[in-house]
Structure 1
């Protein structure tokens, strides 16, 4: 007697199922590759403080060299006695854009904000990042948070953001909370949390942990090596770059990576090596 299986599968059905599984696997792999490609699209700029002495000597030539390396934008840390129109012209000449300005705290105060907005409109910049401020008490940090909330509302009408850049002292604690958490825990979601990976670690905090506490807030982030010596670049230090990039490219809301290298004997070579390290990591 010839027995038949309970649920016979024809050769055609088997092949159809097998091909379907192959198709699903291929689609899944393709989706992963597409997602990875999408994550790599965050543009990379450089903080010009990295090459400050070169900028002071020859700003147009320095900008041209930065563009030649492959950077797409620059973040300003001073304007070298140039007008916004002059700076914009220099950028346009070499195909760069402004990806932020480190603008002093005083520049966002009510009496100065209008002039700051006008300058940055000409420059083509939408990220007004305060690079340094201090508070001696919990209340002072809360007062600064309130100011930034007010400024964020005002500059939003001009398509701009206001933000704050990390230094080691921002991770000092006041009544059990760091200044960083007091500030960003009480600011609007659109206030840019410009974490600096090295400064964060210098303050005793874990940059990945800090990033994860604030989804969508790392709209621009400073990429700076930490723990590998004065000439170290990404991958030669102690930052968990894989985790940093993963967060920025999935939940950080990041629009710009901003490279900074402060300590090299050859600043232009340092930012060139930083860019090469990012290439090796598949980020540019």
Structure 2
């Protein structure tokens, strides 16, 4: 091992060791890659295809993390942070930019750590051809518009039209495009909810939905009802938690009843994506979120 490689190795081990220590300190059991029993996960895939009850778990291949949660760590040490995520056990991530690297350079770092960027957050008002080309290089199999806000229902209607048009172009490239919610889409404007305008103004065949569970609850919406209302469009969850007074916390550290939500909305869910918008310790959040999703039962 050369000096530079040794330095990177020790750097990522230090990052991971800090995250693991922090996770244990808050009561999270550390699940190291390769030690978890794969059989129950496979069994869960063959059970409970309805909204039924029974017992289930999140398959490890469906666990991901939104890299926006780790932006400070990625800016400080991109290779080391990706390596630490791999050591925690992540095999999938959702992108929010490439931190000054080209798509090809970032893909190289992902490949080195055996991580797939299956999903990405993108804008649709720029050069769509380049956005799609980069998504292909990065290996994205799904994309989502992360945010939109308008003061009028007409503004939302126009955006829905643009989203639908962009989604058809993405689909032709083999990358389905969806929308990720916050809370304001559920606040009515002149008696109409923007989320309803958005979903009615886009074709379900082309525009899927990524439900952010924290923001849905913050917006006064029951995620289970939202999922069922739009089944089978909902294919991804952002898994982040909140305290009773609305503070964002790591998954499993708040009051959102994830087992109830997961147990009643299992069909069609492709990814459970850990996220925290402003974590105190990003790698601790990554470890806590991964451990929670590996161990939660529903």
Q: TM-score, normalised by structure 1?
A: 0.80
Return the alpha-carbon distance in structure 2 between the equivalents of residues 33 and 79 of structure 1.
33
Deviations 1:109-162, CA, capped at 9 Å, x for gaps: xxx111111111101112221111112211211111122221222221211111
Give structure 1 stretches of 5+ with no counterpart. 1-30
**148-157 or 82-91, larger mean C-alpha shift:** 148-157
Q: Residue 83 of structure 1 corresponds to which residue in structure 2?
A: 102
* Greater RCO, 1 or 2 (C-alpha within 8 Å, sep 6+): 2
Return the alpha-carbon distance in structure 2 between the equivalents of residues 106 and 143 of structure 1.
12
Task: Evaluate the alpha carbon distance shift between residue 82 and residue 225 of structure 1 in structure 2; reply closer, same or farther with a 3 A threshold.
Answer: same
Following TM superposition, the consecutive aligned residue runs of length 4 or more in structure 1 with deviations greater than 6 angstroms are none
Q: Name which of 193, 210, 227 aligns with 2:209.
A: 193
How far apart are 1:33 and its partner, in Å? 8.5
Return the alpha-carbon distance in structure 2 between the equivalents of residues 127 and 136 of structure 1.
28
Q: Residue 278 of structure 1 corresponds to which residue in structure 2?
A: 293
Return the alpha-carbon distance in structure 1 between the equivalents of residues 202 and 271 of structure 2.
21
Q: Residue 150 of structure 1 corresponds to which residue in structure 2?
A: 165
Q: Please give the residue correspondences for 1:10-25 in structure 2 after superposition, counting only pairs within 5 Å.
A: none
Return the alpha-carbon distance in structure 1 between the equivalents of residues 249 and 170 of structure 2.
37
Q: Residue 186 of structure 2 corresponds to which residue in structure 1?
A: 171
CA contact (8 A) 2:57 2:297 kept: no
Q: Name which of 56, 69, 81 aligns with 2:75.
A: 56
Return the alpha-carbon distance in structure 1 between the equivalents of residues 297 and 174 of structure 2.
31
CA contact (8 A) 1:197 1:224 kept: yes
CA contact (8 A) 2:58 2:294 kept: no
- Give the length in aligned residue pairs: 247
Cα RMSD (Å): 2.3
- Structure with bigger gyration radius: 1
Deviations 1:84-107, CA, capped at 9 Å, x for gaps: 100111010001001211112423
Return the alpha-carbon distance in structure 2 between the equivalents of residues 186 and 39 of structure 1.
34
Is residue 2:247 matched to residue 1:235? no
CA contact (8 A) 1:224 1:259 kept: yes
Q: Name which of 24, 27, 35 aligns with 2:47.
A: 35
Give structure 2 stretches of 5+ with no counterpart. 1-42, 49-54
Q: TM-score, normalised by structure 2?
A: 0.76
How far apart are 1:230 and its partner, in Å? 5.5
